[in-house]
Structure 1
Amino acid sequence: MIENPFVRNFVSSLSKGGKLPISFVIHLEDGSLTTIGEEKPILDIYIKNPAGRKALMSLDQLLIVEAYIKGDIDFEGDLIKAMSFQQLLSDQHILLKIGRRLKPILLGREKCNPDWISKHYDSHNIQLFAMDTDYNTYTPGIYEKDEDSLEVGAERKLDFAFQSLNLKPNDSVLDIGSGWGGFVRFAARRNIRVTGITLSNHQKQYVEDLIDKNNFDAEVKYQDFFSFQPSQKYDGIVMMGVIEDLSDYPRVMERLLNYLKPGGRVYLDFASHKESFGTHSFITKYIWPGTFRMVYMPEFIDAVKESPFEIQAIYNDRRNYYLWAKGMYERWMEKKADIIDKSNEQIWRTFRILFAATAGTMNKSSYDSTAYRVVLELPEDHKSLQ
């Protein structure tokens, strides 16, 4: 029998009479604690003030995360495994979800995209603390063993993408959403001419410095994907973790058709959800606002079928996504002091939730989400519309 009324009401509301997925400990403001569950606890929840109590009792994902970011609640322990709690919490912020879909309709996507992208990526490159140190990739690597480092996985993934495009020396590649230049440096070192486009000024400056330092045959442009008007077509295109921000798949196929030479290939990797708009409110409000959504595969496949592109390969990438996010989370935790020194604790807490939730979403017990690598090809005999 749980003695404390607040803890008793919280556990009753959370469990709804069923078994909780993990055991945990609740620490109240007065220092008292209550252990919930029969197994060894994997998480300690510290309630710091009445605002923390209110957020916890709401059983609302967004309100609980916001309380954590503000310091009204604290978490210690295995936060990745604790993400199994998501299935017991609500996420009914209808106005937030409607607003993110109406804004691009009313104002136009091209006007909205720069602010949406900069919200996450113009963060003074703070994400570098969590990434691999060789290529600074912000998408999953390919891991043959669970123990593979982020560096090993990143190089293996970049090589996989490179080989998938069937590139030859002096070919040209368009890197859409070029990030911190992972594919730029990998391809440029192999005598490929690379053009990157991004809507992050911080990333653009970082990659420009990288290009200048290494004298790469490459360039990076501040450019929206949908309005890009290149002077040439490319032998290959890479889109690593980008199509989630684009979401209008028929229009994406139309633009890719304008950018790619016949016979060329497109490499994509992305997260996917079983619902068409299955994006959590935390992601929309704090990470990727606007039309960001995990890819809904039925719509994506239909868009490819209606285009001239042919699917050459599809690979399930969920295990890689989990290991990558887990590795990012572990590095983020290790470098907490450095991150807070460069930014602030709220930023550290926000990204801690992001990395833990991503790993928790992609683990073996998740049924809602997965990830894919996809290779498309534009047939050699296709006559592009001019």
Structure 2
Amino acid sequence: MTIAEAFDSLLIEPLPLRFTAYDGSATGPEDAPFKFHLRTERGLAYLVTAPGDLGLARAYITGDLELEGVHPGDPYEAMRLLQKGLKLRRPSPSELVTLLRAIGLSSLKPPPPPPQESTPRWRRVLEGLRHSEHRDAEAIHHHYDVSNAFYEYVLGPSMTYTCAIFPTEEATLEEAQHTKYDLVARKLDLQPGQRLLDLGCGWGGMVRHAAREYGVRAIGVTLSREQASWAQQRIKEEGLDHLAEVRHMDYRHVEESGFDAISSIGLTEHIGVKNYPSYFSWIRDHLRPQGRLLNHCITRQHNKPTSTGAFIDRYVFPDGELIGSGTIVSEAENAGLEVQHHENIRVHYAKTLAGWCHNLQENWDACVDEVGIGTARVWGLYMAGSRLAFERNEIQLHHVLATKTDANGASGYPLRHTF
């Protein structure tokens, strides 16, 4: 039996792509727009020993599985077709052993994973409890301290690694990121002289926008040393160091309080659902009465506890957790915050990811030189796959705007929204 014949025996429906293997076998339409080529026995071992997205990712990242007909910086079209058409049945253990013997695979021992892969969840306990300060720092380091130069190529001049908001279908990614920051500022009703704390501030985009456009005294905090260094340099270059500051620290160690506004743009995904009560209570305690919170967070389309997929957990966001926006609203309210507005902007994240994939493709050689071919492949795969998930409403992005209403019931919020 050939590898292609073994693959065919597991298909529920005909394959919409062309598949070829190192033993010379092939299946699928010859005129298919995309072709998978399995180059090595190691690639086959990856697929067999880690069924699903993890095995595919391992084989693809190492180059043992090639995808032809699409650029590795943006494999979106091939992944879209694959999601629609690849339906496999799960063989019984005895059938799997028979198939492996037939195609000559000598062992079920998993090959060593690619170096880009994080340790599995069960081994991370050696690094500390989940969402302890040390383990959170390690998780952030894994993803965000890749290379500032690499992020500049992928994210563009804004250096903003969160969902943009497109004012029109034709708007550029930079215009959309500016629109996002300005919408956050208007939702928070920022005024000159106010104090803003930005949690998980990344490269300081919100901090700089608030200081430059609204005259706000802004502090940003991030667990990424690389982000903090880059942000502080940019703040100085823009002449904003009298108003803006980015610190390399855990937000839980911020000593100041009484902030007029707190923004959290893309941090809640890293907090852990069980830690929402302490997270929102911390925010409440650091706002002044009638102060505002804007929480910007990737969410699920439901509120059922769901494990993160193996590929995302091992290669992209170790220890990341998502839940529905209803849980976020409930936990903010349980902490004593009054929710004033709740908005889903998921379609904007699909467009944002398309823009990042375009940038990765356009700067592919420079990105590979900066971080290596394996890491560059991880990013193309992850961003194109995430774009599909947002388009298919598998994940969403929500803004939750809340106030710290004072003891007399005054929120400081107007009769109607002003943004």
TM-score (norm 2): 0.80
**Farther off after superposition, 143-152 or 115-124:** 143-152
Q: How do 1:199-214 residues align onto structure 2 when only pairs under 5 Å count?
A: 199-214=223-238
Q: How do 1:299-314 residues align onto structure 2 when only pairs under 5 Å count?
A: 299-314=327-342
2-side partners of 1:196 and 1:254: how far apart?
19
State which of 247, 256, 270 in structure 2 corresponds to 1:221.
247
1-side partners of 2:330 and 2:132: how far apart?
22
1-side partners of 2:326 and 2:316: how far apart?
25
Q: How do 1:190-205 residues align onto structure 2 when only pairs under 5 Å count?
A: 190=213, 191-205=215-229
RMSD: 2.7
Q: Do the aligned residues in 2 keep the contact of 1:113 with 1:224 (CA within 8 Å)?
A: no
1:272 equivalent to 2:299? Answer: yes
- Give how far 1:310 is off: 1.3
Deviation string, structure 1 residues 164-196 (Cα, Å, up to 9, x no partner): 001111111101111112112211112111101
5+ residue gaps, structure 1, are none
Q: How do 1:97-176 residues align onto structure 2 when only pairs under 5 Å count?
A: 97-99=121-123, 106=129, 109-125=132-148, 126-133=150-157, 135-176=158-199
1:317–1:347 CA distance, 2 compared to 1 (3 A): same
Structure 2 counterpart of 1:242: 267
- Give how far 1:96 is off: 3.2
- Give how far 1:147 is off: 3.4
- Give how far 1:161 is off: 0.4
- Give how far 1:106 is off: 4.1
Deviation string, structure 1 residues 289-331 (Cα, Å, up to 9, x no partner): 13x1123334323212212111111111110111111111121
5+ residue gaps, structure 2, are 91-118, 410-419
- Give how far 1:287 is off: 1.8
Structure 1 counterpart of 2:111: none
2-side partners of 1:90 and 1:295: how far apart?
29
State which of 365, 369, 384 in structure 1 corresponds to 2:395.
369
1:170–1:34 CA distance, 2 compared to 1 (3 A): same
1:27 equivalent to 2:27? Answer: no
1:330 equivalent to 2:358? Answer: yes
State which of 364, 380, 384 in structure 2 corresponds to 1:356.
384
Structure 2 counterpart of 1:50: 41
- Give how far 1:103 is off: 6.1
Q: Do the aligned residues in 2 keep the contact of 1:140 with 1:320 (CA within 8 Å)?
A: yes
Amino acid at match of 2:20: H
2-side partners of 1:104 and 1:381: how far apart?
42
Structure 2 counterpart of 1:96: 120
Amino acid at match of 1:276: P
TM-score (norm 1): 0.86
Larger radius of gyration: 2
SS of 1:69's equivalent? helix
1:10 equivalent to 2:35? Answer: no
1-side partners of 2:89 and 2:326: how far apart?
26
2-side partners of 1:175 and 1:205: how far apart?
16
Aligned-pair identity in percent equals: 25
Amino acid at match of 1:206: W
2-side partners of 1:106 and 1:24: how far apart?
43
SS of 2:120's equivalent? helix
- Give how far 1:230 is off: 2.2
1:184 equivalent to 2:207? Answer: yes
1:279–1:324 CA distance, 2 compared to 1 (3 A): same
1-side partners of 2:253 and 2:262: how far apart?
14
Structure 1 counterpart of 2:114: none
1-side partners of 2:3 and 2:201: how far apart?
49
Deviation string, structure 1 residues 51-95 (Cα, Å, up to 9, x no partner): 22333455421111011111111223273244454685799xxx9
